[in-house]
Copies of this chain bind each other. A is one copy, B any other.
Amino acid sequence: MNALDHPTNFADKLDDAVARAGNPCIVGLDPHLDALPEDFSRARDPQASRAERAETVAEFLCAVIEIAAGRVAAVKPQSAFFEMFGADGAHAWERVVSAAHVAGLLVIGDVKRGDIDSTARAYARAFLQGVDPRHAHSLCDAITVNPLLGSDSIQPFLDACRDHGAGVFVLVRTSNKDSALFQQHGSPPLYERIADAVVKWGCELVGERGFSSVGAVVGATHPRELAELRARMPRTPFLLPGYGAQGAGAADIAAGFTSDGRGALVNSSRGVLFAYKQPQYAGMHWKDAAVRALDAMVREVNAVLR
């Protein structure tokens, strides 16, 4: 154990943070350049330097973090939108992750990494363990991972869960339009086989609150499968993308929760960040629109859980 270790079980930390927030919503930090409010138009200005553009994205997201702080348990930054700016984007990522921690939010890095074991170990160090305690503030509490390469590709992340109090959310059934092509392949379908592996991978990482640090990403856009998977994976925390912009509503996500209304996170990204573009918030400052949209989402989700 070194200075980077956080011995508490991630699932316990998460359950605690959700209880304190009073809702299972999280805010996805997906800064689509075209949708950024006019105040941050420099991020899409080809005349500006790459560093200025990445910094502008970070400023926008730090303002979003101020809105999320105290309202929700966690944020989920999407690494692609940072990597777009190369090394400047990596600086912005670290600034945003650190700001979220300072604001008391858990950080779920949406990085969807997956590779052979020795490489997966390097990814676990990159996002969950770190190589230098002086940069521990820019590590994530959990990340999303892609299971296509099998058990040995997941083991380094499980080790990080066990030794560093980290969490992972494994892609099981994604929210996008063509997700069935491979995820439904075979009989039983591939996603069920992945689900069973996730349960197995997580069985030794169950915390005191009854959930494992090995979670699953299950699109809220597939409500029937969501209910089946909830029954199949009783101790697995679910991360439910697809709420809002991707088409899932509050009723669709209900099946993702346990009977006592726990065990799932509902993510909205564009629906909160770019709420100012929606007709019902027309004319409002982007921050006011984001606050209203997030408060409305919290109310809708909590109403379904009661």
Using a CB–CB cutoff of 8 Å, the interface residues on chain A facing chain B are 30, 32, 46, 49-50, 53, 78, 80-81, 83-87, 89-91, 93-94, 112-120, 122-123, 125-127, 131-132, 134-135, 138, 146-153, 171, 174-183, 185-187, 190, 193-194, 197
Contacts and interface: CB of A to CB of B under 8 A. Distances in A.
B84 A94 contact: no
A186 B185 contact: yes
A182 B150 contact: yes
Given A123-B83, A176-B116, A182 B194 contact: yes
Contacts of A175: 116
A252 to B, nearest CB: 17
A133 B259 CA distance: 53
Given A49-B132, A87-B90, A149-B174, 13 more contacts: A50-B132, A80-B113, A80-B120, A83-B127, A84-B122, A86-B138, A90-B91, A146-B148, A149-B176, A150-B181, A153-B176, A185-B190, A190-B190
A107 to B, nearest CB: 14
A166 to B, nearest CB: 15
Given A50-B131, A94-B86, A125-B84, A178 B193 contact: no
Contacts of A132: 46, 49-50, 53
Nearest to A80: B122
A122 B54 CA distance: 13
A80 B185 contact: no
Main secondary structure of the interface of A (DSSP, over half): helix
- Please indicate which of the listed interface residues A46, A80, A81, A175 has the most CB atoms of chain B within 10 Å of its own CB: A80
17 contacts: A84-B122, A85-B131, A87-B90, A87-B91, A87-B93, A89-B126, A148-B148, A148-B182, A149-B174, A150-B177, A150-B179, A150-B180, A150-B181, A181-B193, A182-B190, A186-B186, A186-B190
- Please indicate which of the listed interface residues A135, A148, A153, A175 has the most CB atoms of chain B within 10 Å of its own CB: A148
Nearest to A48: B132
Contacts of A148: 146-148, 171, 174, 182-183
A131 B186 contact: no
A100 to B, nearest CB: 15
A186 B184 CA distance: 10
A277 B115 CA distance: 24
A97 to B, nearest CB: 10
Nearest to A95: B87
Contacts of A181: 150-151, 193, 197
A264 to B, nearest CB: 19
A20 B146 CA distance: 37
